Amino acid sequence: MYAVSQCVLQYLTEVEEAAEDVLTVKQQIVELDTKRNRNREALNALKTDLSDSEKVKVCFGNMFIKFPKSKTREMIHKDQEQLDKEINDLRNGLKAKVNRLNEMQGKPELRGFNLSPLSTDEVKAITSLLKR
């Protein structure tokens, strides 16, 4: 009887760890997406900035530093690219973790979960075919 309860406890622990892993990744995606939205807001603020000044104040940690607008835009764009890459990597890893969790729980694999969006080139090709 003791061995059976140990097996059940081990199984529940593994399922709980897998579920916790999925939730952690989801939270990381939300946090990175929030940062990406803040960067987008900053880029829009730089576009609509009507001041004649060539420098803007940028917050680094807990201090503000005056930086040239062009350098600031460049830094934000690089940060956006990095955030996009990290979010995509996390989302791709999340698919495998969710499938593993479902497998552990005896649920079937999610259908359509491994779909990926069309690339820009594929969309252009389809659009050109539809215009004919």
- Residue-wise pLDDT tens digits, 19-60: 999 999 999 999 999 999 999 999 998 888 777 788 888 888
Domain boundaries, the chain: 2-104
Fold of 2-104: Helix Hairpins (1.10.287)
Q: What is the C-alpha end-to-end distance of the chain, expressed in Å?
A: 72
pLDDT at position 95 over 90: no
Q: CB-based burial of residue 21 (10 Å sphere; 0-12 exposed, 13-18 middle, 19+ buried)?
A: middle
Instruction: Write down the pTM of the prediction.
Output: 0.73
Which pLDDT value is given to residue 75? 94
